[in-house]
């Protein structure tokens, strides 16, 4: 498995997934979750999440039909805050995913009175992070995420 190809696939799938906003390709599952599939050559992913508000989910990446990478995430908008503008800022930030750390959005992104920040530790093999959105300095959104390579050796 080539980590550079994985990195590029993560960037491509992010732009075609939630960040890209192509909801016509989303699948509403019978368990009340939503799946966003993406495929490019021997690579495919599915982003499956529950929510609404708050929300949680996971992204799984497969290479040649074998799971090789995953990320789990959980986030929420503060009570009393209108969600649509917050999630539009989030989508715009996610479209600016750093190619060298393809986990969520950039370290910083500003959109009018909204400020998105993202801090993480680790690399594509194993990472964790936290993203926040503030409005006029007040925290209105927070999400945590972690993940990395999976199924690299025997064990269970």
The whole domain housing 124 covers 3-149
- For residue 154, tell me if it sits in a domain: no
- For residue 17, tell me if it sits in a domain: yes
- For residue 133, tell me if it sits in a domain: yes
pTM: 0.90
- For residue 33, tell me if it sits in a domain: yes
Q: What is the pLDDT of residues 63-117, one digit of tens each?
A: 999 999 999 999 999 999 999 999 999 999 999 999 999 989 999 999 999 999 9
- For residue 155, tell me if it sits in a domain: no
Coil/strand/helix, residue 90 = helix
Indicate the number of domains in the chain: 1
Q: Do 38 and 19 meet the contact criterion of CB atoms below 8 Å apart?
A: no
Residues 140, 135: Cα–Cα separation, whole Å = 7
- For residue 16, tell me if it sits in a domain: yes
- For residue 129, tell me if it sits in a domain: yes
């Amino acid at each position: 498995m080539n980590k550079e190809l994985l990195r590029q696939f993560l960037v491509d799938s992010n732009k075609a997934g939630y960040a890209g906003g192509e909801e016509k390709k989303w699948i509403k599952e019978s368990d009340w979750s939503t799946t966003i599939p993406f495929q490019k050559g021997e690579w495919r992913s599915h982003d499956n999440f529950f929510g609404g508000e708050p929300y949680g989910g996971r992204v799984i990446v497969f290479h040649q039909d074998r799971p090789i990478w995953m990320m789990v995430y959980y986030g929420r908008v503060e009570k009393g805050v209108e969600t649509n503008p917050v999630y539009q800022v989030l989508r715009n930030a996610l479209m600016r995913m750093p190619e060298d750390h393809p986990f969520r959005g950039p370290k910083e992104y500003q959109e009018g009175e909204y400020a998105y920040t993202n801090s993480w530790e680790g690399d594509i093999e194993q990472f964790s992070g936290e993203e926040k959105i503030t409005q006029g300095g007040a925290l209105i959104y927070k999400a945590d995420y972690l993940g990395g390579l999976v199924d690299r050796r025997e064990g269970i």
